[in-house]
Amino acid sequence: MTAHNALYIDGEWRPAQGRETIDVVNPADETVIAAVPAGSAADVDAAVRAARAAFPAWAATPPARRAELLGALRDQLRSRTGEIAATVTAELGSPLTVSERVHAGVPVAVAGSYAELAATHAFEEKLGNSTVLLEPVGVVGAITPWNYPLHQVVAKVAPALAAGCTVVLKPAEDTPLVAQLFAECTAAAGLPAGVFNLVTGLGPVAGQALAEHPDVDLVSFTGSTAVGSRIGAIAGAAVKRVALELGGKSANVILPGADLAKAVNVGVANVFANSGQTCSAWTRMLVHADVYEEAVELATRAAAKYVPGDPTAEGTRLGPVVNAVQRDRVNGYIERGVQEGARPVAGGPGAPEGLEKGYYVRPTVFADVTPGMTIAQEEIFGPVLSILRYADQDEAVEIANGTVYGLAGAVWAANDESAVAFARRLHTGQVDINGGRFNPLAPFGGYKRSGVGRELGPHGLAEYLQTKSLQF
């Protein structure tokens, strides 16, 4: 893999001020494929200065022009689909087809949606004798994780740019190469120097320096709840805007009368996609006692279709997890599930047969999971599904709402009306009704400890705007 031994600051690739680098490892075979600079606080400062200097002119650029440039960025991303997919597969380990369709494809849709929103959004509104101006917040510090490494970058950078903000990005240390490709795309799209800046580096060093920087007006973070709560505290103390997209333990509620086979198959696919490394994954399946054993059997059969293997090989549906720490963490949770009395009906702890090299785990389904178990409460971030039993709808609501999280979820019922009635009772930011399709405009974000703020579509754009009212 080609990598820049440089940071992208003020429209150019610049060497970092220190010499430290981060090795990028292919999780499928544990080989080092590249190294990138580990940026320091001084590098972050240089990037924030560049973003600050670029802000006035970018904020004053007519939204229609910002829209054109976002359109050019979308076209750049689209034209480099193959390269982006290969890069994400190499540094994250997702199957190549998933990398093409999801990791490369979704960012094109999201960048396109913001090209359109920049052109059409009302950046001014009338309210009685007031005119309300919606103005960009300023310099944005974006900190992103590795699980959807390009999507999470575009879901922050595109709305920030559409709003008229400038950005400094600190991507995850595991997946910096696709972030470098993104920086190349911003340059090729013709974005003015300093509007987008990239500092690769370690979370506690570069990430922390970015969150703490006094000239960053808004911090947008996606990642773990543990780090997110610290970032929220830093931002709160400095009275700066903050958006947090954190963990989840979402419920897939299958109500009596639903198409059980469809609900279970889609549910298993949802959890195993991206090796279970999806914050919005429906990791708890809730099934009525009357059809519980049937659902367990269907899930066991569905899981058998996910054989872990080389993500570049044709037909592979499940790659490794991102790194050794994640592999050990996931295995720890699987062991814990067994200890606490859940019944593994697929998978289990340890490496899959024949895959001793690479960070592979066995796709695992647990039956007889009760709401108090660790595997029913904590985010595992691996291909592990817990199936819980409920007796009636009130109990299903109680179980579904019974974690600290509230990011996503699904409800399946005999018809949309009864599914919607149930969905209204859920404390969560998104619910898919009877297998509803992904919508890149739908607000995405959490209730409770799943986060603060929303991403995507017009709600995502609003995060990067502040209001000024003029009275007449």
Instruction: Cite the active site residues.
Output: 245, 279
Q: Which stretch binds ligand NAP (CB under 6 A): 75-83, 205-213, 249-257, 428-436?
A: 205-213
Cβ neighbours, 10 Å, residue 71: 18
Q: Which is nearer to ligand NAP, 172 or 365 (CB)?
A: 172
**138 near ligand NAP (CB under 6 A):** no
Q: Which is nearer to ligand NAP, 67 or 246 (CB)?
A: 246
Cβ neighbours, 10 Å, residue 23: 12
CB distance 51 to 186 below 8 Å: no
**223 near ligand NAP (CB under 6 A):** yes
**224 near ligand NAP (CB under 6 A):** yes
Tokens of 138: 């300023």
**323 near ligand NAP (CB under 6 A):** no
Q: Which is nearer to ligand NAP, 152 or 300 (CB)?
A: 152
Q: Which stretch binds ligand NAP (CB under 6 A): 11-19, 94-102, 196-204, 363-371?
A: 196-204
Task: Count the residues of the shown chain that bind ligand NAP, applying the rule CB under 6 A.
Answer: 28
Shortest distance, CB of residue 275 to ligand NAP, whole angstroms?
Answer: 12
Instruction: Round to whole Å and give the CA distance between 385 and 300.
Output: 10
* Residue type for position 138: G
**172 near ligand NAP (CB under 6 A):** yes
For 360, phi then psi, to 5°, come to -90, 145
**203 near ligand NAP (CB under 6 A):** yes
Tokens of 116: 């359109």
Show the CA angle centred on residue 157, arms to residues 151 and 162, nearest 5°. 125
Instruction: Round to whole Å and give the CA distance between 276 and 258.
Output: 24
- Residue of the chain from 166, 208, 250, 300 that contacts ligand NAP (CB under 6 A): 208
Measured at CB, which residue is nearest to ligand NAP? 203
**445 near ligand NAP (CB under 6 A):** no
Shortest distance, CB of residue 41 to ligand NAP, whole angstroms?
Answer: 12
**279 near ligand NAP (CB under 6 A):** yes
In the 8-state DSSP scheme, what is residue 444? Answer: B
- Residue of the chain from 10, 91, 173, 463 that contacts ligand NAP (CB under 6 A): 173
- Residue partners of 354: CB distance under 8 A and separation at least 6: none
Tokens of 114: 């913001």
In the 8-state DSSP scheme, what is residue 206? Answer: I
**341 near ligand NAP (CB under 6 A):** no
Cβ neighbours, 10 Å, residue 332: 14
- Residue of the chain from 153, 246, 373, 419 that contacts ligand NAP (CB under 6 A): 246
- Residue partners of 455: CB distance under 8 A and separation at least 6: 155, 156, 159, 243, 245, 443, 444, 445, 463
Q: Which is nearer to ligand NAP, 3 or 231 (CB)?
A: 231
Instruction: Round to whole Å and give the CA distance between 69 and 78.
Output: 14
Instruction: Round to whole Å and give the CA distance between 48 and 342.
Output: 49
Tokens of 104: 């490369």
**91 near ligand NAP (CB under 6 A):** no
Residues in a beta bridge with 13: 8
Shortest distance, CB of residue 456 to ligand NAP, whole angstroms?
Answer: 14
Shortest distance, CB of residue 330 to ligand NAP, whole angstroms?
Answer: 8
Residue keyed to tokens 């895959």: 355
- Cα-Cα end-to-end distance for the chain: 59
**273 near ligand NAP (CB under 6 A):** no
Shortest distance, CB of residue 118 to ligand NAP, whole angstroms?
Answer: 25
Tokens of 324: 């050794």
**147 near ligand NAP (CB under 6 A):** yes
- Residue partners of 60: CB distance under 8 A and separation at least 6: 164
Shortest distance, CB of residue 354 to ligand NAP, whole angstroms?
Answer: 26
- What angle do helix axes 393-400 and 416-423 make, rounded to 10 degrees? 50
**406 near ligand NAP (CB under 6 A):** no
- Residue of the chain from 76, 222, 252, 300 that contacts ligand NAP (CB under 6 A): 222
Q: Which is nearer to ligand NAP, 246 or 397 (CB)?
A: 246
Handedness of CA 158, 159, 164, 166 (dihedral sign): negative
Q: Which is nearer to ligand NAP, 359 or 422 (CB)?
A: 359
Q: Which is nearer to ligand NAP, 128 or 214 (CB)?
A: 214
Shortest distance, CB of residue 437 to ligand NAP, whole angstroms?
Answer: 21
- One character per residue 6-25, x = contact with ligand NAP (rule: CB under 6 A): --------------------
Strands 251-254 and 465-471, sheet pairing: unpaired
Shortest distance, CB of residue 435 to ligand NAP, whole angstroms?
Answer: 22
- Residue of the chain from 204, 257, 341, 350 that contacts ligand NAP (CB under 6 A): 204
Shortest distance, CB of residue 379 to ligand NAP, whole angstroms?
Answer: 4
Percentage helix, strand, coil for the chain under 3-state DSSP, each rounded to 5: 45, 20, 35
Site of interaction with ligand NAP (CB under 6 A): 143-147, 170, 172-173, 202-204, 207-208, 211, 222-224, 227, 230-231, 245-247, 279, 326, 329, 379, 381
